[in-house]
Amino acid sequence: MTITIYGIKSCSTMKKAFTKLNDLDVSYDFHDYKKQGIDKDTVQRWVNELGIDKVLNKRGTTWRKLDDSQKQAADASVDTAIDLLVENTSMIKRPIVEGQSADKDQDQAVLLCGFDEAEFDKVFS
């Protein structure tokens, strides 16, 4: 099983996700995009699979601090929204969990966005 969890170490939702993965005995790599950044291709892949509405966190302070023209541009163009996410990683919903989960005799692709304890149980138990 190869899992990477993306986020910001100090985030309370991330701490819940770390605890849950540890409780389920899932080994993972952590990518702190506050320190390491994130590339546009990765964000584009997430948006292609999950949709911009799932990946872009409009409830956080970083989004609220944008001026109206930036918000309107992000709403009008997915490419603009992705560029904003790469520049302002705090606007990416946390955590993003990506990788392969061993399911019986085969590897199963995993891509989760946000912390849902029941979903983590289902995917990793």
Q: Is 11 a catalytic residue?
A: yes
Long-range contacts of 102-108 (CB under 8 A, 24+ apart): 102/1, 107/1
Structure tokens at 111: 């891509």
Backbone dihedral region of 50: left (phi > 0), alpha (psi from -120 to 50 degrees) or beta? Answer: alpha
Residue located via tokens 């989960």: 101
Question: Which residues are CB-contacts of 100 (< 8 A; sequence separation ≥ 6)?
Answer: 1, 2, 3, 107, 108, 109, 110
Of these residues, 3, 5, 6, 11, which one is catalytic?
A: 11
Contact 55, 85 (CB under 8 A): yes
Active site residues: 11
